[in-house]
Amino acid sequence: MQAEVAIIGGGPSGLLLSQLLNRAGIETVILERASRNHVLGRIRAGVLEAGTVDMLREAGVSGRLDREGILHEGCYLTDNDLMVRIDFRALTGKHVTVYGQTEVTADLYMALDELGTTVLHGVEDVTLSDLEQPRSVVEFTYEGARKRIDCLFVAGCDGFHGVSRNAIPGDRRREFERTYPFGWLGVLSPVPPCEEELIYANSERGFALASMRNQNLSRYYIQVPMSDRPEQWSDDEFWTELRRRLPSETAARMQTGPSIEKSVAPLRSFVSEPLRWGNLFLVGDAAHIVPPTGAKGLNLAVADVHYLYQALIDSIRSNDRTGIDNYSERALTRIWKAMRFSWQMTMMLHRFEDEDDFASEMRRATLGHLAASETARRDLAENYVGLPFWPTGKDVPWTRPFPRLSRPWRESRAVPCS
Ligand code: APR
Ligand code: PHB
- pLDDT tens digits, one per residue of 158-203: 999 999 999 999 999 999 999 999 999 999 999 999 999 999 999 9
Atom of ligand 2 nearest to the CA of 294: 10
Q: How are beta strands 28-32 and 2-8 bridged, if at all?
A: parallel
SS3 of 280, please? strand
Amino acid identity for residue 90 in this structure? A
Q: What is the rounded distance in angstroms from the CA atom of residue 191 to the CA atom of residue 49?
A: 25
- Tell me if 206 sits within 8 A of 351, measured CB to CB: yes
- Tell me if 271 sits within 8 A of 290, measured CB to CB: no
Calculate helix-pair angle for 357-372, 374-385, nearest 10 degrees. Answer: 90
Q: What is the rounded distance in angstroms from the CA atom of residue 209 to the CA atom of residue 260?
A: 17
H or E element at residue 323: helix 322-349
Q: What is the rounded distance in angstroms from the CA atom of residue 385 to the CA atom of residue 395?
A: 17
- Tell me if 312 sits within 8 A of 21, measured CB to CB: yes
Distance from Cα 265 to the centre of ligand 1, integer Å: 15
pLDDT value at position 81?
Answer: 86
pLDDT value at position 88?
Answer: 98
Our answer on whether the CB atom of 69 is closer than 6 Å to any ligand 1 atom is no
The rounded average pLDDT for each run of 10 residues, N- to C-terminus, in the chain (418 residues) is 96 98 97 97 91 97 96 96 95 97 97 96 98 97 98 98 97 97 97 97 95 95 97 98 97 97 96 98 98 97 98 97 96 96 96 89 91 98 94 61 47 42
Amino acid identity for residue 407 in this structure? R
For 299, phi then psi, to 5°, come to -65, -35
Distance from Cα 283 to the centre of ligand 1, integer Å: 10
Amino acid identity for residue 357 in this structure? D
Our answer on whether the CB atom of 156 is closer than 6 Å to any ligand 1 atom is no
Query: Which alpha helices (H) appear in 27-183, and where do they start and end?
Result: 36-40, 50-58, 63-68, 88-92, 101-115
pTM of the model: 0.94
Nearest protein Cα to ligand 2, atom 4: 45
pLDDT value at position 273?
Answer: 97
Calculate helix-pair angle for 101-115, 12-23, nearest 10 degrees. Answer: 40
Distance from Cα 286 to the centre of ligand 1, integer Å: 7
Q: What is the rounded distance in angstroms from the CA atom of residue 213 to the CA atom of residue 45?
A: 9
Q: What is the rounded distance in angstroms from the CA atom of residue 224 to the CA atom of residue 230?
A: 10
Q: What is the rounded distance in angstroms from the CA atom of residue 377 to the CA atom of residue 368?
A: 11
Q: What is the CA radius of gyration of the chain?
A: 22
Atom of ligand 1 nearest to the CA of 39: 15
Which ligand lies nearest the alpha carbon of 342? 2
Q: For residue range 316-337, list pLDDT tens digits in order.
A: 999 999 999 999 999 999 999 9
CB 212: neighbour CB atoms within 10 A?
A: 24
Query: Which alpha helices (H) appear in 169-247, and where do they start and end?
Result: 235-245
Residue 86's DSSP bridge partners are 75
CB 381: neighbour CB atoms within 10 A?
A: 21
Our answer on whether the CB atom of 308 is closer than 6 Å to any ligand 1 atom is no
